[in-house]
Structure 1
Amino acid sequence: MTDAHSTASPTALDRLATVATALSAGGLAGMVLVQAWQVVARYLLNDLPSWTEPLTLVLLSTTLSFGAAAGVHARSHFAFPLLVRLMPIAAQRALGRLSALLIVGIGGLLAVGGAQLLLDGLAVKMAGAPLPQGITFLPLCAGGALMAIFALPQLWRPTIEAN
């Protein structure tokens, strides 16, 4: 694939994607640490902490949501490049725009739905951790918004496969 941003200086969206990637990697590293502590506490100390499972779920959601958003920016999300390459350039552009439009829609739905779940769950205490239940939907909301933001420019600059 050819990308107009590959040789240009980093844009604000490029920097935002770097932050999303760092948050995703941080979530993954956090999951590893929390799960390692859970194993040590359970099998060596015989004292299973109640906060590890809820925190792992928040970290998992963070890793997946921000990683997916960064993948949209990098245009490395799920696609059918072999099929697209066989089509004329105009059809490739149309499919690129359709793909971007679908991602904007899905990202928007994730952001709005995640925000509703976040707000609805703020008054509910999370089992096992001193946090509101709604906090588990914050990464989904933010990741969905980033997916939509990253896909918007792709509506005007769809990816064209190099033949």
Structure 2
Amino acid sequence: MSETDNPTMATGPQRWLEVLARIAIHLAALAMLGLVAVQGWQVFARYVINDSPGWTEPLTILLLSTAMSLGAAAAVHSNRHFGFFLLAGQLGPRLKCALEVVVETVVAAIGAVLAGWGWMLWIDGLHIKTAGADFPQSINYLPLSIGGALMLVFAVNRIVLALRPTATAEGH
């Protein structure tokens, strides 16, 4: 078990990353609850009172983007993302560590791309308003950028943990 898998073992920077991951997962859960409420209102307004509001679609997409991005980042922190777990189980300690570093490097690169391009797209569309809501057209890229940055931070942390001498001795 790594330090990031057990919050009671976390110290120093690991504790702050654990807090950050918990915030991300709580915000993702709130976004999912908001999504259900907004879609519930959309169905009620459309089929019961026959007055479909225009703001529900852009808000739903924003909430979905938030839930997806922050949930993915939290999954990186807790090592519940894609990986080669069956292969890793068959490898020796050194190869298992190397595979973990490769996987986390790929995740870090994906997070960096999401953070960088998401931020650029967010900034690029600030001056355009969304149809149906008073949001910038690019609002959906902001959670994508934040989630990507968190993925990058969490993946780099997992690389550092994997490369620690004690982690290598334990079989990581």
- What residue is the counterpart of 1:17 in the other structure? 21
Percent identity (aligned): 44
Aligned counterparts of 2:145 and 2:160: Cα–Cα separation in 1 = 25
Contact 2:3 2:10 in 1 (8 A): no
Please state if 1:110 is matched with 2:114.
yes
Aligned counterparts of 1:109 and 1:50: Cα–Cα separation in 2 = 32
After TM superposition, the score normalised by the length of structure 2 is: 0.89
Shift of 1:9: 4.0
Q: Which amino acid aligns with 1:108?
A: A
1:3-152 equivalences in 2 (<5 Å): 3-5=2-4, 6=6, 7-9=8-10, 11-152=15-156
Q: Which runs of 4+ in 1 moved over 4 A?
A: 159-162
Aligned counterparts of 1:81 and 1:112: Cα–Cα separation in 2 = 29
Report the aligned-residue RMSD: 1.6
Q: Which amino acid aligns with 2:9?
A: A
Deviates more, 1:151-160 or 1:72-81: 151-160
After TM superposition, the score normalised by the length of structure 1 is: 0.94
- Count of aligned pairs: 161
Aligned counterparts of 1:88 and 1:55: Cα–Cα separation in 2 = 48
* SS of 2:139 mapped into structure 1: helix
Unpaired segments of 5 or more residues in structure 1?
none
Residues 126-160 of structure 1: per-residue CA shift (max 9 Å, x gap): 11111111111110000000000111111122288
* SS of 1:133 mapped into structure 2: coil
Aligned counterparts of 1:99 and 1:68: Cα–Cα separation in 2 = 15
Structure with larger RCO (C-alpha < 8 A, sep 6+) = 1
